[in-house]
Amino acid sequence: MEINTIFLIVVLLLIVILLTRVISLQSQLNELKRDVERIENGAGITQRTSRSSVDYPVSSSTQSSSSEHPTELSELDQELTLMIQQGNKIKAIKKLREARNLSLKEAKDYVDALDRTSS
């Protein structure tokens, strides 16, 4: 009877460990899916930052001359820039959050960077 109890405890521990690993892998998979969506939706001129997974716009003066980045902003960036110029920064942040599924902070940082590059 004692061997069955020990065996059952070991099996339960293995199940808990495996479930934890599956949850972790699912989280990583969801993050990769978001990254793929961002790449597919793409922002015209972007620069990857080390602190965040958000692509921030880069002004044409800071681009490399090796044609790594297109010289025009994406349609979304152009629309956001127009909203910013019209004084609708909050609406631009909201639109970006909906379009790219970003957090409020990521969207605000992106719009602020876009505002700086368009000035």
**pTM here?**
0.45
Hey, what are 11's tokens?
Answer: 């099996």
At 9, list the tokens.
């405890």
Token pair belonging to 67 = 């044609």
Distance between CA 69 and CA 92 in Å, rounded?
23
Distance CA 90, CA 104 (A): 10
pLDDT per residue rounded down to tens, the chain (119 residues) = 688 999 999 999 999 999 999 999 998 998 888 888 888 776 443 444 444 556 666 554 444 443 344 445 688 889 999 999 999 999 999 999 999 889 999 999 999 998 888 77
**Cβ-based neighbours of 97, under 8 Å, separated by 6 or more:** 103, 104, 107
